[in-house]
Chain A
């Protein structure tokens, strides 16, 4: 593209942004990037960031709200079970801490006016108190004194947060499943529609061909039918093109193969229809434009130019589409 505008030394960094980030290199953020010095920008002047620093602010992508992000990231990484075990661990850890506090004396737990013992029964009591605190039940049959008070309050806060994470994770997991299920279904329906529409295009073009072979239809009507058929074709071609270039969901090989096969035969029929039209038929400007887009999109479809690897069967159809497109004038 730049080459066509007269730039001679253009090269393409194929790995792009993704490769750069993967290799651990920093990215610049903010709109303030210096334009290379040997060029004089006529565009907007360099903007200065809030702290007066012009450009070259090294920061990784997604560096906003570091603390909150890292906590959220941790919650994302752990499974529901792991989070739950973390909660249990916190509670048990605090229970043991309460018990050890009781051993020290002044900073332990008091049950019915007397400090809990340093024996097994005491440990059980400390764990019981810890669970009562963590679940924010707070019966009050055992009370903390001294440093144990601070510990029990912080335990309650932390345990509540973790428990909240467990619950939300549990709920959002179900929701994610449902959402992706809905996506999948919509996507499949869309693919079905591509097939149906391509069939319509093919049969419409075939009837145009038979009409124009019989020379039995007024040209304006042929033109209108051709217009709508080609437009419909363009829509589905665009969808397929996106599917090959930016796949959002994986398509079954069989489905993709049949779409490509239909696309290929639709294109061949279109070519036939265009060649069979009488010499005095002039294409309207919109039709001309649509056909041009169809041609250039189809030329993009071939085994080696799509940015992903496909099976030989699919590559066969893609190459065929490109070959047919090359024959359209």
Chain B
């Protein structure tokens, strides 16, 4: 059921991160950027250093891509207006 309502879920309870903050962390590796768009979109262009974890694969692949549950993670997709 989650995939039916992901937009609202992501919107509701996840704190936001700003562009400036992301830029600060670009060079140290303390922040993991996660691109939840499709892998096509990822190949076309993604934020520097971001890893690809398409939304529909989050449940199946999150563990291997993001082994550390306490890591600082920033997810992004195309745009929330």
Contact = CB atoms under 8 A, between A and B. Distances in A.
A56 B49 contact: yes
Contacts of A30: 43
Nearest to B48: A28
* Interface size classification for chain B: 35 or more
A15 B16 CA distance: 9
B45 A61 contact: yes
A27 B11 contact: no
Contacts of A21: 45
B79 A15 contact: yes
A114 interface: no
B17 A5 contact: no
Contacts of A37: 29
A9 interface: yes
A7 B62 CA distance: 10
Given A1-B10, A14-B80, A36 B62 contact: no
B12 to A, nearest CB: 7
Contact of A27 (B1, B48, B65, B78): B48
Contacts of B30: 38
Chain A, interface residues (CB within 8 Å), range = 35 or more
B13 A7 contact: no
A278 B78 CA distance: 47
A38 B4 CA distance: 32
Given A13-B19, A27-B45, A33 B51 contact: yes
B76 A13 contact: yes
Given A3-B14, A16-B78, A305-B11, A35 B51 contact: yes
Interface string A183-195: 0000000000000
A308 B80 CA distance: 9
Interface string A16-31: 1111110101111111
A245 interface: yes
Interface of A: 1-21, 23, 25-31, 33-43, 56, 58-61, 245, 292-293, 296-297, 299-300, 305, 307-308
Which 9 A-B pairs rank lowest in CB-CB distance, beginning with the nearest? A27-B45, A13-B76, A18-B79, A11-B17, A61-B45, A16-B79, A12-B14, A300-B8, A42-B64
